[in-house]
Amino acid sequence: MGFNYRYEKVKFYEEWLPKQKMMREVGMSEEAIQQMFDYDWNWFKDRRRHESRQKPFTEDPYTYSEEDYELLQKAIARNMEEQSKNYIDNIEAFDVIDKIEDERLLNALKQLKEAELELIMLYAIKGMQVQEIAKLKNRSVSTISEKLTRIKKIIKNNY
């Protein structure tokens, strides 16, 4: 419900006037009483501004139509399928490294960062094209090409 300014203002003064009377009775200065009143009045105005800007939900945000629910279920299923596929692909790629018998090549590959290793696995072991990797990684083709060139240099220098 909205902020009823007239009602809230009357309620404010009904609460504040007895406080003011009590403060005078205990001997507070008028200046101190006025400072407290100003503080409380500013709080009242802030609350009014806050309440006047609140908008109620037009519908329950946690209810879905059947169509929305089906779309949500499909999206979740597709996401889980992609994640499991990527996980399985990564396991296969990194299993290949464990099977490398050439110690120099293995040491050269260990010099690579995980992201670089993943790129070289996609390119060399999975046989993906640079364009496919760029699309998968959401990067430009030139960026992927440059990274692959750098990775090849690192391997050559350490091999």
Is residue 142 one of the residues assigned to a domain? yes
Residues 41 and 111 in one domain: no
Is residue 148 one of the residues assigned to a domain? yes
Residues 89 and 25 in one domain: no
Residues 106 and 32 in one domain: no
List the CATH number of the domain containing 117: 1.10.10.10
Distances 133 to 16, 54, 101, 112, 149 between C-alpha atoms, Å: 69, 47, 27, 18, 14
Question: How many structural domains comprise the chain?
Answer: 2
Residue-by-residue pLDDT tens, the chain, 159 positions = 566 888 888 999 999 999 999 999 999 999 999 999 999 999 988 888 888 777 665 566 566 677 776 777 777 777 766 665 555 455 555 666 667 777 888 888 888 888 888 888 888 877 888 998 888 888 899 999 999 999 888 888 877
Residues 99 and 150 in one domain: yes
Residues 48 and 70 in one domain: no
Is residue 90 one of the residues assigned to a domain? yes
Helix locations, the chain, DSSP H: 5-25, 30-52, 66-98, 103-110, 114-120, 130-137, 141-158
Residues 83 and 119 in one domain: yes
CA distance 24 to 30: 8
Among the listed residues 59, 126, 57, 31, the one whose alpha carbon sits nearest the alpha carbon of residue 86? 126
Among the listed residues 117, 103, 97, 96, the one whose alpha carbon sits nearest the alpha carbon of residue 159? 103
Q: For the purposes of burial, counting CB atoms within 10 Å of the CB of 134, is it exposed (0-12), middle (13-18) or buried (19 or more)? A: middle
Q: Which domain holds residue 113?
A: 66-158
Q: Report angle CA 13, 19, 21 to the nearest 5 degrees.
A: 100
Residues 26 and 94 in one domain: no
